[in-house]
Amino acid sequence: MRPLLFFVLLLFVALQYRLWISEDGWREVWGLREAVRLQESENQQLRERNQRLQAEVEDLKSGLDAAEEIARTDLGMIGPDETLYQISAPNTGDRPEARK
């Protein structure tokens, strides 16, 4: 009876070692849970970005207001009945007192 009890105890310790200490035990489970949590967070950010882009696409498809806004801000275009006034900063490199 005593050798059987010793064998069962040894088997129990070996299984506990694999569960708690080895690399494919609980440490890996905890690491995988953290990786899943980080991936879910990144997926949520990407979902929100995709929703914003989808809204922009729908806005561009439905009317000219969004296209006009993009043309004005990104391309510097103006309307046919508008006048563009461009004010530039004075060039201070030509004046002698600016070289001091």
Give the per-residue pLDDT at 68. Answer: 81
**Structural domain spans, the chain:** 43-79
- Portion of the chain with pLDDT greater than 90, in percent: 23
In degrees, rounded to 5, the angle at the alpha carbon of residue 16 between the alpha carbons of residues 13 and 17 is: 85
Full-prediction pTM beyond 0.85?
no
d(CA 52, CA 74): 18
Query: Nearest to residue 75, comparing CAs of 83, 64, 67?
Result: 67
Query: Token pair for residue 94?
Result: 């030509």
What's the chain's average pLDDT? Answer: 83
Q: Are 71 and 77 in contact (CB under 8 A)?
A: yes
Give the per-residue pLDDT at 100. Answer: 52
* pLDDT at residue 56 tops 90: no
* pLDDT at residue 75 tops 60: yes
Query: Nearest to residue 74, comparing CAs of 55, 56, 49, 61?
Result: 56
Confidence band (pLDDT; 50, 70, 90) for 34? very high
